[in-house]
Amino acid sequence: MNTRVDRPESLWAIAWQQLRRNRLAMACLVILIVYTSVWLYAEGTFWFARLRDVTPAYKVSNYAIRNQPPSTAHWLGTNYAGRDNFGQVVQGTRIAFEIAILTSVIVIPLGFFLGALAGYFGRTIDTVIVYLFSVVGSVPDILLITAISYVVRGVVERSPSMQTVTRYIDSGLLAVCVGLGFTGWVGLCRIIRAEYLKHRERQYVLAARSLGASNMAIMFRHIAPNVSHLIIINFSLRFPGLILTEAVLSYLGVGIANEPSWGAIINDAKQRLWLGNWWELAGATAAMFFLVLALNLFGDALRDALDPKLRTAEAGTV
């Protein structure tokens, strides 16, 4: 056996080795790479049309070919306005990723920063932050998300200063992301707080402090790299939930209305399923299914690979 001891392996290197051995996780990773490419392609076509002020292809109606079943020209048929369903589903991928990213813009800074403050300083700051996330976490998620999206939508649509923003971001998309963001930070905040509580007692923190490092430096330069993997795990396990919630919001009427998100496509397909037009539903459902499945399974594998506690547990036997 080869016993080179030149450099200790990093957490990420060990995790990657374990992930590589997991065939299911690798298959999921391939699926995720495919979805990411589709997203980048859709984002490209969207901005190409937007910056030139032309109607993007997926929004052009063609009433001569409406509600057609799948054919070689239109793999998933066409919808009520004669738009190609496959193109709609591709744009739906873009929306799904945009929701994940825009939501994370709220969740990660808020959850991480508040969690770090609470866990590191303790005492009053901790009490206040714990109170804050207990309050927000008390409202059943779907109710709070609905309420926030409902209210934010009203604000965005009425205020003139938001017009510049909504020229680039759909007002429904913005409302949904604000709703998902201001409820989603609670989970991350809890995890980060618990980690900081543990890490602040560790020796390396004591060493840094005795060398005169400031609180900010200890929090963000010394401890943060040791807990940053939790952000990625949290993201990959939160993402599938966002996709499924978005579909519910579309149905409730507080979701995305003017862009073909998967939830909006499914909601649109509702009436025409009764006419036997199954293809509209099938496309968005399948797209959603494989992404959510791959994210869930990959997220699980990632967590197992990055969390050493579970890794030793797997080796144990009864």
Partner 1 sequence: MAAYIFRRLISVVPISLGVLFVTFLLFRVIGGNPAYRIAGKNATPEKIAQITRDRGYDQPYFLNFKDFPQKLFQAQFPRLVRSILRGDFGESITNKMRVSELLRAGLLPSLCVTTPLFLLDLCLAVGVALLAAYYRGTWIDRSLVVGAVMAMSVSEIVYIMIAQYWLASEWRLFPVWGFEGPQYVVLPVLIGVVAGVGGGVRFYRTVMLDEIYQDYVRTARAKGVSPPRVLFHHVLRNALIPILTNVIVALPFLYTGSILLESFFGIPGLGRLLVTSISNGDEDIIFAETFIGAILFVLANTATDIAYTWADPRIRLK
Q: Which residues bind partner 1 (CB under 8 A)?
A: 24, 131-132, 134-136, 138-140, 142-144, 146-148, 150-152, 154-155, 158, 240, 244, 247-248, 251-254, 263, 266-267, 269-270, 273-274, 281, 285, 288-290, 292-293, 296-297, 300, 313, 316, 318
Looking at beta carbons only, is 24 or 54 nearer to partner 1? Answer: 24
Cβ proximity of 264 and 250 under 8 Å:
yes
Please state the closest distance from residue 71 (CB atom) to partner 1, in A.
Answer: 23
Q: Are 298 and 28 in contact (CB under 8 A)?
A: yes
Specify the residue, 104 or 267, whose C-beta has the smaller distance to partner 1.
267
Measured from the CB of residue 104, what is the shortest distance to partner 1 in angstroms? Answer: 21
Q: Are 178 and 156 in contact (CB under 8 A)?
A: no
Nearer to partner 1 by Cβ, of 223 and 256: the residue is 256
Q: Is the dihedral of CA 155, 157, 160, 165 positive or negative?
A: positive
Residue 136 Cβ vs partner 1, minimum distance, rounded to whole Å: 7
User: Judged by CB, which is closer to partner 1: 56, or 241?
Assistant: 241
What is the smallest separation between the CB atom of 96 and partner 1, expressed in angstroms?
12
Give the residue among 228, 235, 314 at the shortest CA–CA distance from 18: 314
In terms of Cβ atoms closer than 10 Å to its own Cβ (0-12, 13-18, 19+), residue 196 is buried
As measured in angstroms, the least distance from the Cβ of 171 to partner 1 is 13
Q: Which is nearer to partner 1, 7 or 23 (CB)?
A: 23
CA proximity to 254, closest of 103, 111, 152: 152
Distances in whole angstroms, Cα of residue 116 to Cα of each of 18, 39, 90, 196, 265:
29, 33, 38, 6, 40
